[in-house]
Amino acid sequence: MARHPTPFDFWQEAFRGAVMAAETALAAGEVIASRSATIDHAVRNPLSADHAELALMVGEKVAAFSEAGAIAMRDACLLQARLASDAVRAGTSAGKSGFSAMSEMIGMWERAARGAMTSAGAPRRSLSPIHRRATANAKRLKRKAR
């Protein structure tokens, strides 16, 4: 049986997303600086430009942001489905009393906690394809510059 999420889990998940966002921002800055130099060189001397690197610049962004959008939509749909399901359950349990009502209430709180964890992790999950590509590019371009 899965353990119940705690408030610590929620904040830990939110913190992981914030760290990932910071890493992505730092890597993006490094990539932009490196690629700006590549573009500058290509403008000044098109025949000796790094055409392979120039060709990557748009396609990889489209792929990363498309994947990120799909993940964000999946999470939004999952959360919406959970909320709709809980609304139906709340309506069907309105007339219950005693242990049955308490059991329903505890179940609703557990589902709400899991929904909060889904929400807390959504930014990290949707940023992950962009983070993966940005940090990999930063490492690759550093090695290439040596």
Q: How many residues does the chain have?
A: 146
> pLDDT tens, 98-130?
667 777 778 888 888 888 888 889 999 999 999
pLDDT of residue 129: 97
d(CA 101, CA 109): 12
User: Is 88 or 29 the better-scoring residue by pLDDT?
Assistant: 29
d(CA 80, CA 33): 40
Whether the CB-CB separation of 53 and 34 falls below 8 Å is answered with no
Structure tokens belonging to residue 135: 């940090």
Whether the CB-CB separation of 145 and 34 falls below 8 Å is answered with yes
Is the pTM here over 0.75, yes or no?
yes
